[in-house]
Amino acid sequence: MEYVIGIDLGTSAVKIVLVNQLGEVVQEISREYLLINQQSGYSEQNPEDWVEQTFLGLAELMKAFSEDPATIKGLSFSGQMHGLVLLDENKQILRNAILWNDTRTTEECQQIYEVVGKEKLLQITKNPALEGFTLPKILWVKQHEPDLFEKVHTFVLPKDYLRYRLTNVLQMEFSDAAGTLLLDMNKSEWSQEICDLLNIDSRICPQLVPSHEEVGVITTEVAKATGLTTKTRVFAGGADNACGAIGAGILSEGKTLCSIGTSGVVLSYEAENNKDFSGNIHYFNHGAPSAYYTMGVTLSAGHSLSWFKDIFAENESFDELLTDIGDVPLGSNGILFTPYLAGERTPHSDAVIRASFIGLESTHQRRDLLRAVLEGITFSLHESIEIFRRNGKKIETIVSIGGGAKNDDWLQMQADIFNAKIVKLQNEQGPAIGAAMLAAYGCGWFKTLQDCANEFLKIDKVFEPDPANVTRYEELFAVYQEVYIQTNELNQKLMPFRK
C-alpha cells in the first residue's frame, strides 16, 4: 500500500493526515500554536511556530508508522489564506506574520480604492479591498515600518513559507495568490498595473505555480528531523478554502460547500472567471486545474463557538457542551446572536462591528445562549447563500464540513436555515484531505481530481429541510438582518473604549 500526507496549516493548529490509496485516513496528528493579539484588531503569528509544530507532528506521525517510509510517496498543503510573511534577501523572516483576521488596515483599503479605483480593482482582481487581504497588509508595513520594509525581498503566504522550509524552494500557488489583491485574475499573473499604482516593486511577488504542480522533494535536513525520505514528492497545495472544496468534492458546476472552521465559508464551484457579483462575494482560483470558486465569508464562525466554550464551559469538551442543544426550541427562546467578534466580511465589509446577544432575560439558561450562537453563525452563512441565489445560482444541496459537520442537531439547523439538503461525509477531514488529494493526484494515482473524489469521498448522512422550520427561520432571519443595521452606529461610538 502507498500513502500520501495532507498538511493543513490552520489558524490555531497544524493538522496532518496520512491517507492510503483507498482514501482512508490511517493516522491524524494535530499540534497547536499561539495566536498573538497585541491590541484590538491585531492578529499575528510567528512563522517559526508553524515550522516547529509541523516538524514535530511529522516526526510523531512517522514514529507511529510501521511500514517503509518510502511508501509515503508525496505530500501537499492547505493553509490559512491572506496572511503576510515577509522575507529578506536571505529568505529570513523579517517580522511576525500578519494574519487573515487582522483588521488594522482600514486606511490602507481606502488608499487602494483612492489610488487604484474600486471598479478597476474589481476588474483586475475580482475582489474588493478588505482588511483581511494581503495587499493592505503590505501597504501597512510599508507605511508604519518603513525601515523593515526596505529589507523586504519577497513575500509569501503561510503554507507557502512552510513548503519552502520543507523543500528549500520558494513559490506561491494560484489559489492563495488570488487572495492577495495583486493577482490579475484574467491573465493569471501578478498585476504590474496595481504594483505600479501603489509604488510596490513587483519583484517582491514570488513565482506562481498551479496547486497540483510538483515543486520539489523533502530536503535531507527535514528528512532527518521527521523520518520522511528525500524521495517524498512535494506538491504546491492550495488555500484552505480551495482544499476544503476539493476535500468535499466541489469539483463541478452546481456543487456548493459550507465549511465551518475558525472562520466560515459558503463556496460554490465556477468553471469560468467571467461572472459579475459586483464584489459582494469573493472570486478565487480553485485548487482544481483551470477552475474557480465564489465564496462568502463569516469571519467568526467556529471562533464564536470556541469563544463561548472558553467563557462558559472551559473544562467541557465540545461534545459535552452541545449534548442537549436539540432540546432548545427553534429561536433559542427569543435570543439572537450576531457572530461579529472580529468584525464581518460578507455581506458587511466592516472591521468595526462587534457581536451582540439580543433578547436576554433572567429565565434564559446557558444552553439557550449556546443555541443562539449556533443559529447566529448559520444565519451569517445564510446571508452568503442568499447572495448566490439572488444572482441566479441554484443552491439545493450543500456539503457541510468542519466543526459544523460534527453535530447532527447543527446539521439539521443548517438544512432548515439554508432551505437545502445538507450532506455529511464519512471520515470528513476538511482541507487536510483536500491537500492529500492534491498529492494523490500529483503522484498519478488518478487521472483527475474528480476520479480521486469518487474514490476517497463517501456520504454518511443527508439532512432534509423541515418545511415548518424553514418558514419559522425565514421570519427569524429577517429579524437577524436588522441587528446589524441597529447596532452599527452603536459600535462606532464604542470604538474609543476598546483596548
- Where in the sequence numbering do the catalytic residues fall? 240
Gyration radius from the chain CA atoms: 22
- Where does 70-219 have alpha helices with state H? 106-115, 118-125, 134-144, 146-149, 158-167, 174-177, 192-197
**Lookup result for grid cell 517580522:** 95
Q: What is the DSSP letter of 344?
A: B
**Lookup result for grid cell 516538524:** 55
- What are the residues whose beta carbons fall under 8 Å from the beta carbon of 23, sequence distance 6 or more? 433, 452, 455, 456, 457
CA–CA distance from 430 to each of 217, 240, 249, 389, 426 (Å)? Answer: 25, 9, 11, 25, 11
CA–CA distance from 492 to each of 369, 375, 480 (Å)? Answer: 25, 25, 19
User: For strand 97-98 and strand 72-79, is the pairing parallel, antiparallel, or unpaired?
Assistant: unpaired
CA–CA distance from 262 to each of 100, 152, 201, 464 (Å)? Answer: 11, 30, 33, 26
- What are the residues whose beta carbons fall under 8 Å from the beta carbon of 423, sequence distance 6 or more? 397, 398, 399, 400, 459, 461, 462, 463
Burial of 226 (C-beta count, 10 Å sphere; 0-12/13-18/19+) = buried
Burial of 20 (C-beta count, 10 Å sphere; 0-12/13-18/19+) = middle
240 vs 83: CA distance, rounded Å: 12
